[in-house]
Structure 1
Amino acid sequence: MDRKPAAGKPCPSDHTSTRAEARRSRSLPPPEDRDKAEARAQYLALRKEILPESDTQQRQARARHRLYTAVLNGNLTCCKLPSRVDKVLDLGSGIGCWAVEIARKHPEASVTCVDHHPIRLRDAPSNVTFRVADLNRDWPVEPNSLDLIHIRAMSDDVVSWPFILSQALETLRPGGQLEVSKIRPRFWDFNGQFSVTDVLPEGEKMSDELSAKMGVDLDPSASLPMWLDDAGFEKAAQRSEILPVGDWCKDAKLHQRAALYKDLLEISGWEGKSRQLFVSSGWDLPRYTALINSVKESITHGGTDERCRTTRNRK
């Protein structure tokens, strides 16, 4: 998505202040009841306790990066970058897999990584810097300074997408680009053979209900085009890719994606992002563990009966 270039004559000061006030109002989370606000705060606090340098998180981050790179056919971005990129911001960098690669590909660029936790990489290129900050607060970035903002797999850490997009618009240069990508938590059976007791759609339903209860949007894909337009972006585009679950696919590229996605799920399953959601909503660990074990079993073995089960990678 490109930032809309400035055009025309400057607005009068009163109009400018009115527009700024409208932008701030869009950036604020919607009014909500105290219970939902407290539940979401508890959930986000649990998310921040996930240390990116733990062994499991490092393995998960590397597996996710391999999967995204395969989906992008070896590229690092879905958007087409200019030959020269000066300043890049990577939000929610984790252990910095993507940032390190983009920095090596564009040695002329200054790449800034932002995460809740300090990140230490021994082999980081000299053009990479790391900062600790909360993406849900004003970003520590100069206005009109960035060529590219990269956000990956951060939906469950976002309080308000309109706020995130307003920050992106203010910090991007005219013509700068924003790329948001995630694995969408939705499964399809192309043959329509899901049974009413299948754990995958049932797990989705539970996750959706708990997310709505706490005001956490795990699947913002449908609303992002509207929010981007409201924020002032232009040339917004959405790309969807299939991630097969199981070994049913014959196409070489899809087969590679299936193998990489299986690696990622075997490291974390749903547990990487759902444990905090379920536990902060009142589930006890034995009940949650039983659900996750059923999900993992369905993911690992459910695709062998030729059911075309897939999730999708949204960009």
Structure 2
Amino acid sequence: MGVRSCPSLPGPSKDLTDRYFLPYLLPNDETENDRLDVLHEMCLQVLHRKLYLGPIKSPQRVINLATGTGIWAIDFSDKHPQAEVIGCDLSLIQPTLVPPNVNFLVDDIESEWTYERDTFDFIHARFLAVSIRDFSKLIKQCYLFVKPGGWVEFQDWDGHPVSEDGSLNGTALQRYYDEVFDAFETAGCEVRPGIKLEEWFRGAGFVNIHVENFLVSYGVWPKNKHLKKVGAWCQSQAEANGYEGFALAALTRYRNWTRKEVMLLASVARADGRRHDIHSLFNL
């Protein structure tokens, strides 16, 4: 999260039908939409019901990048009725009945932006891992289009799980992430953006940069009540077709796995995820 040192809302950057997209390797269906909404609730649990951490006060123009189902943008617009909120995504999957101050656009955030410079008070993005090819370029664009004194906040993963006691080592769950992330990296996707965000923000010119790290447990094994609740939501989103959906395209297209092999890996990884003796953690 960083602040930039010190007209009308525009539409999409380009006619998307004229663009060539590198393949999007995650699902885009109702099951995935449900998973994204579960992920939203998990994030609210992690942040103790906060939608964002930036010290914004009375934002007038806000953009939510890769808005997905639009749930964050809708919640934000409810809390800030004075703000004009844009949610942009490659797919128009958001609901049609929304607050009057939110507008959803089909747009590719990795293309050149044609919004007015210095137009947004707050730019928010969340969970872009494996979906963005060039985070550095994207964050530089955020710098150009946020107002001087405005804030940009990214929330993202170090996608590789860890275990402080070594209980993840050698498990099917570890193999799942090793295999899948190797395929994503072959496809040119960034799987560990969280640990690089500070570097990218500084390179873009932001000042007053704040980095916060949150542990997200997988499953209900922690004794800590907060981590246990977060872990339950994390497990829920992964089991909502997350294992198969996350792995299928990447492994079949970039590692020549068969569908049956992917489904088997997903099945044994899911079983490991339910074990209380494997203490998996993610850094958000």
TM-score when scaled to structure 1?
A: 0.80
Q: Specify whether residues 247 and 118 from structure 1 end up closer, same or farther in structure 2 by C-alpha distance, changes over 3 A only.
A: closer
Q: Match of 1:224?
A: 197
Q: Match of 2:98?
A: 124
Q: Match of 1:245?
A: 218
* Larger-gyration structure (1/2): 1
Determine whether 1:80 maps to 2:91: no
Determine whether 1:214 maps to 2:187: yes
Shift of 1:168: 0.3
- Whole-angstrom distance in 2 between the partners of 1:55 and 1:213: 27
- Whole-angstrom distance in 2 between the partners of 1:90 and 1:135: 10
Determine whether 1:172 maps to 2:143: no
Aligned residue type for 1:106: H
Determine whether 1:95 maps to 2:69: yes
Aligned residue type for 2:4: K
User: Is the contact between residue 62 and residue 122 of structure 2 (CA under 8 Å) also seen in structure 1?
Assistant: yes
Aligned residue type for 2:205: G
In structure 2, stretches of 5+ residues that fail to align are 7-19
User: Is the contact between residue 211 and residue 218 of structure 1 (CA under 8 Å) also seen in structure 2?
Assistant: yes
User: Is the contact between residue 4 and residue 205 of structure 2 (CA under 8 Å) also seen in structure 1?
Assistant: yes
Q: Secondary structure, in 3 states, of the residue corresponding to 1:141?
A: coil
Aligned residue type for 2:227: L
Determine whether 1:189 maps to 2:160: no
Q: Match of 1:61?
A: 36
Q: Specify whether residues 189 and 262 from structure 1 end up closer, same or farther in structure 2 by C-alpha distance, changes over 3 A only.
A: same
Q: Identity of paired residues, percent?
A: 21
Q: Match of 2:264?
A: 290
Q: Secondary structure, in 3 states, of the residue corresponding to 1:157?
A: coil
Aligned residue type for 1:166: K
Structure in which a larger fraction of residues adopt helix: 1
Determine whether 1:261 maps to 2:234: yes
Aligned residue type for 1:188: V
Please give the per-residue CA displacement for 1:214-258, whole angstroms capped at 9, x wherever unaligned.
Answer: 221111222222221111111222222122223221222112111
Q: Specify whether residues 231 and 183 from structure 1 end up closer, same or farther in structure 2 by C-alpha distance, changes over 3 A only.
A: closer
Please give the per-residue CA displacement for 1:76-118, whole angstroms capped at 9, x wherever unaligned.
Answer: 0022222x11011011111110000000000000000100012
- Whole-angstrom distance in 1 between the partners of 2:185 and 2:131: 15
Aligned residue type for 1:75: K
Shift of 1:201: 2.1
User: Is the contact between residue 119 and residue 130 of structure 1 (CA under 8 Å) also seen in structure 2?
Assistant: no
In structure 1, stretches of 5+ residues that fail to align are 7-37
Q: Which runs of 4+ in 1 moved over 3 A?
A: none
Please give the per-residue CA displacement for 1:100-145, whole angstroms capped at 9, x wherever unaligned.
Answer: 0000000000000100012342431000001111111012421101
Equivalences for residues 98-117 of structure 1 within 5 A: 98-117=72-91
- Whole-angstrom distance in 2 between the partners of 1:177 and 1:143: 14
User: Is the contact between residue 45 and residue 230 of structure 2 (CA under 8 Å) also seen in structure 1?
Assistant: yes
Q: Match of 2:172?
A: 199
Aligned residue type for 1:148: F
- Whole-angstrom distance in 1 between the partners of 2:230 and 2:197: 25
Q: Match of 1:308?
A: 279
Q: Match of 1:280?
A: 253
Which of 159-168 and 179-188 deviates more?
179-188
- Whole-angstrom distance in 2 between the partners of 1:4 and 1:66: 29
- Whole-angstrom distance in 2 between the partners of 1:212 and 1:63: 26
Q: Specify whether residues 207 and 58 from structure 1 end up closer, same or farther in structure 2 by C-alpha distance, changes over 3 A only.
A: closer
User: Is the contact between residue 157 and residue 195 of structure 2 (CA under 8 Å) also seen in structure 1?
Assistant: no
Provide the aligned C-alpha RMSD in A.
2.0
Pairing partner for 2:206 from 215, 233, 243: 233
Q: Secondary structure, in 3 states, of the residue corresponding to 2:97?
A: coil
Q: Secondary structure, in 3 states, of the residue corresponding to 1:151?
A: strand
Aligned residue type for 1:3: V
- Whole-angstrom distance in 2 between the partners of 1:270 and 1:169: 35
